[in-house]
Amino acid sequence: MNKLNLILILCLLGKITFGQDTTFFDTKWNETNKQNSKFYRIQTKIEDKWLRMDYFSENNQIQMKGHFSSINPEIRTGYFEWFHSNRKIKHTGNYSENKPIGEHLWYFENGKIEAVENYSNGLLDGDYKEYFANGNPSSETKFVNGKQNGFTRYFRENGSVEAEGNTKDGDRNGEWKYYDENGNLLGTKEFKTEYFFEEAPIYLRLPNSQWYLANKQAGATTEYIFKRESIEDSLGRVIIPAIIVYFEDASDYNQDVVLY
């Protein structure tokens, strides 16, 4: 091989590898060495964007592919794909200025659809659907500006409807219906988070629809007891939080209502 051919080969190799960088990561995506890596990344500068391709170290299969308009800070742009380690697609969707937009699709390792999301300016907006691994629907709802709003339905894994009702600002609202596996109505429950007290008058907004009015005792001082659905603390104890509100009857007073 003469000197001219050697220089030409080196120049071609330099052109192919220019702008690329390989980084190795552990299971938590912390940088590590090749021997201890779970993933590795190759980034290539193409004109004004960076093409990033992540791989599974164990089988060199692609884990993610997408473009960034900036690496520091990282700004996703355009179409992205994520994959399971068995080569099946996991997640696809578009980004604009690092914000998800349009339809995003999620898949199980068996290839069946897991979820269908719709985004606008980085927030969930529009129809939202989830599925079980067997292909049956898990839930159907709607989002507006990142919050759950509208008619919602939840399903069992066998495809039967478990519950349905409306949501507002991310919470259950109004009457919800509950069904058994044969479609028979088991019962209904009314959900509300806003209460108006005529004794004051004032409004009370509870944190979410897991709270409910458990009892009311009228008299010279009216007592309202609100309870929350049970929760379990770190020690495994079941706790039912409660809020008690008292209103003094101020109808005979020429002064503001007193709230205790």
Q: 36-52 b/e with 16+ CB inside 10 Å = b?
A: ebbbbbebeeeeebbeb
Are 148 and 246 part of one and the same domain?
A: no
Residue 61 has what pLDDT? 97
Residue 16 has what pLDDT? 37
| Residue 224, domain extent | 193-260
Give the tens place of pLDDT for each residue, 163-199: 999 999 999 999 999 999 999 999 999 898 888 887 7
26 domain residue, yes or no: yes
12 domain residue, yes or no: no
Q: For the chain, which residues score pLDDT lower than 70?
A: 1-20, 249-260
> What is the rounded distance in angstroms from the CA atom of residue 63 to the CA atom of residue 65?
7
CATH number at residue 133: 3.90.930
Give the residue among 259, 257, 223 at the shortest CA–CA distance from 242: 223
With contact defined as beta carbons under 8 Å apart, do 164 and 176 qualify?
yes
**How many domains does the chain divide into?**
2
7 domain residue, yes or no: no
**Residues β-bridged to residue 185:** 179
**pTM of the predicted model as reported, rounded to 2 decimal places:** 0.77
Are 248 and 147 part of one and the same domain?
A: no
